[in-house]
Structure 1
Amino acid sequence: MSELEQLYQQVILDHARARSGSGSVPEDISGSSHQVNPTCGDEVTLGVDLAEDGSVKRLVWDGSGCSISQASLSMMSEMVVGMGTQEREHLAETFSRMMHSRGAELSEDDLDELADAAALSGASKFPARVKCALLGWMALRDAIATAETKES
């Protein structure tokens, strides 16, 4: 195993253990979403509060599953809080493109933008693991849509 692969594995394990953003989703949250990956049983309930400009003011999630889904949720939580709509959508698209790349390398700019989440690039070689990594991002989009609907 290369040094980079070892580093990536350690980053994933660290996030799976530390779980940034993890906690009970409060009832007064603006929007929430419950998502399940039926392939492996990963599960998450994610809640968001949005600022007036559409940026994520607060994000909290509670879930269980493999280290890839838990690490992806943790990494996403660290990145998107405070991010505006366009920046967040661009990040989600970059992450999705990486996860559907089947292991193809991304540009240095994309890797820099993804920060720790770039460590999940190896999961893109395994279709069953792609769903694990994308679970939180799907929950985020759904929770934001719910929050925006409530505000309208």
Structure 2
Amino acid sequence: MSDLEDLYQEIILDHNRRPRNFGPLPEATHHAEGHNPLCGDHIKVLLRLEDDVVREVKFEGEGCAISKASASLMTTHLKGKKLGAVREAFRAINHLLTSQEDEIPELETLGDVAALQGVRRYPVRVKCASLAWHAADAALDGVVETTTE
């Protein structure tokens, strides 16, 4: 394993063991629940938007290490971003997780979220990694429940 792969694995393990922004958000303006029946993941994403900026984002629920780490990484990445940048992040993570290309131009914009790029080698785990992102996207669209099916 390369040094970069080691670093990415450590980031994922750290966010799984000590998830950031985990817990309730009573003042949420948007929320949605995501389900991944294949793995049993259930993640609720809560966002507080103010002037089209994500002021606060948290998640609740249970899931595998990948889904929990991805949700944690997502919350740290989206906090403070304008809605347009959030939508761009959704497109970037989808490309990161599903592209078969060697070069992923979005890597530079994703920061620690880029640690999830190795998941694309395991297609069954892509749904785990994308669940929280789909839930956040659904929440912003006013949809309160989504699934990876």
TM-score normalized by the length of structure 1: 0.87
Distance 2:3 2:35 in 1: 33
Alignment partner of 2:83 out of 85, 104, 109: 85
In structure 1, stretches of 5+ residues that fail to align are: 148-152
Shift of 1:103: 6.5
Checking the alignment, whether the CA contact within 8 Å between 1:50 and 1:58 is kept in structure 2 is yes
Structure 1 or 2, whichever has the larger Rg, is: 1
Alignment partner of 1:100 out of 98, 101, 118: 98
Q: Which residue is 2:70 aligned to?
A: 72
Distance 2:85 2:111 in 1: 14
Q: Which amino acid aligns with 1:144?
A: L
What's the C-alpha RMSD, in Å, of the aligned pairs?
Answer: 1.6
Identify, as 1 or 2, the structure richer in helix: 1
Q: Which residue is 1:14 aligned to?
A: 14
Distance 1:60 1:128 in 2: 25
Distance 2:32 2:95 in 1: 23
Shift of 1:35: 0.9
Checking the alignment, whether the CA contact within 8 Å between 1:99 and 1:130 is kept in structure 2 is yes
Q: Which residue is 1:145 aligned to?
A: 141
In structure 2, stretches of 5+ residues that fail to align are: 144-149
Checking the alignment, whether the CA contact within 8 Å between 1:103 and 1:121 is kept in structure 2 is no
Q: Which amino acid aligns with 1:142?
A: A
Q: Which residue is 2:43 aligned to?
A: 44
* Alignment partner of 1:128 is 2:124: yes
Q: Which amino acid aligns with 2:16?
A: A
Runs of 4+ in 1 over 6 A off after TM superposition: none
Checking the alignment, whether the CA contact within 8 Å between 1:103 and 1:122 is kept in structure 2 is no
Q: Which amino acid aligns with 1:33?
A: A
SS at 1:12's partner residue?
helix
Checking the alignment, whether the CA contact within 8 Å between 1:76 and 1:137 is kept in structure 2 is yes
Distance 2:142 2:125 in 1: 26
Change (3 A) 1:103 1:62: farther
Q: Which residue is 1:32 aligned to?
A: 31
Shift of 1:29: 2.2
Distance 1:7 1:81 in 2: 23
Alpha-carbon displacement from aligned partner over 1:112-140 (angstroms, at most 9, x marks no partner): 21111111101011111110111011110
SS at 2:81's partner residue?
coil
Shift of 1:104: 3.0
